[in-house]
Amino acid sequence: MTRRGALRSIAGAMAASVALPLSALAQDADPINQVLQNRSNDWSDGFDAASSGAASVRTSAPILSPDTATTTEYAIQNYTDIVARGGWPVVPGDKKLSLGNKDPNVVILRQRLTVTGDLAAGAGNSQTFDSYVDAALRRFQARHGLPADGVAGPSTINMMNVPAAVRLAQLQTNLVRLRSMSGFLGDRYVMINIPAAAIEVVEGGRVISRHTAVVGKVDRPTPILATKIYRVSFNPYWTVPASIIRKDLIPLMQKSPDYLTKKQIRIYDSAGVEVPPESIDWNTDQATKGYLFRQDPGDFNSLGSVRISFHNDEQVYMHDTPQKDIFGRVERFDSSGCIRVQNIRQVIGWLLRDNPDFPRERIDQIFKSGEQVHVNPKPEVPLYLQYISAWAMDDGVTHFRDDIYNRDGIGQLALQ
């Protein structure tokens, strides 16, 4: 079947169902680690990506592709029809529902899931939360970036109750973004989708790996960029950005004067001479004037074991983290603009694949030794930091995410 024929087939399926069936899916944080966020010698971080809904993706097609723009157009047609038919019912949020419950709200839940094709139209109107409703709810959760646990709790109900007209507008806004990025992006590239807090590693027009990410807070957003990765740094120092010194370190030092010493963050003056923390007046802004703050490499380092640098004026980069559990959170908007990457060793192995001096064995050795090494991928690898909050893939599934930075112009979708 030709690509055009395949897309027509998908369009026919989407006309019958907005969301085609998917398989059922199954600390005490330090303030600085919350800002950047156990180091392991394994290539995998040992954290199941399925917890964030990543396992819902059943296609190797990248989000940034002409096919995604086409399938999103079909989704817009479907949602236009849904809006014309009155949208979907509001699901009451007064009760948490799950498998085995019997409640009148289950009838409304069934109706809501049926409108978007998550539940088959002939599944009935029983008040019992049966296995059909369970599977349908997991499909809905997965395509909205929620943990696919089959529990209709507050987060899931809130997603369900976003009006159909708002979802339609979101798709239309994102179609413009998809079209603008549907040209040739390179044989090999990395794409970070900010609202999804997710990463695609793409080669030859197909996604070869997907990674959960942590991106910038609402008040410290990750920038939208088209740039190139130019360096991989193993066991790096962390040079603390001025914004974090001002917003985080000064308040921390006011509360706990030994904080920097505990975290092995050293202070240097403009001449490169180390300055003791007690010589600075932390009740003023003295620390922001001409000092460099740098954390030593090690298991405690906020960057973890590796940093990936790319050209930008925002002082942001991709990096590891010593706190792997953060990838299990639903809302992964917790950094100061940088991007934390789950299973980052898989990414750097791919970035350095064509560098004969850095086979996997050499990379393993560097991690184990703690040696500081900087490597420049040649050629530099394209990187796209994009804002795609609604899209439809060639498997017929329509995805939505929170408009975390309120860039869709639909304030209702901005995460509160």
Average the pLDDT over each of 32-46, 87-101, 300-314, 339-353 and give the range with the smallest value.
32-46
Count of beta carbons in the 10 Å neighbourhood of residue 403: 23
Burial 232-268 (b: 16+ CB within 10 A, else e): bbbbbebebbeebbeebbbebbeeeeebbeebebbbe
Residue 232 pLDDT exceeds 80: yes
Average the pLDDT over each of 52-56, 67-71, 151-155, 162-166 and give the range with the smallest value.
52-56
What is the reported pTM? 0.82
Average pLDDT over residues 88-104: 96
For 195-215, what is each residue's pLDDT tens digit? 999 999 999 999 999 999 999
Q: Rounded to the nearest 5°, which phi and psi values hold at 66?
A: -60, -35
Q: Measured on CA atoms in the order 157, 159, 161, 164, is the torsion positive or negative?
A: negative
CB 195 within 8 A of CB 336: no
For 307-329, what is each residue's pLDDT tens digit? 999 999 998 999 998 888 889 88
Residue indicated by tokens 């609604």:
390
Average the pLDDT over each of 37-46, 206-215, 347-356 and give the range with the smallest value.
37-46
Cis omega (within 30 of 0) for bond into 89: no
Average the pLDDT over each of 3-7, 209-213, 225-229 and give the range with the smallest value.
3-7
Write down the mean pLDDT value for the chain: 86
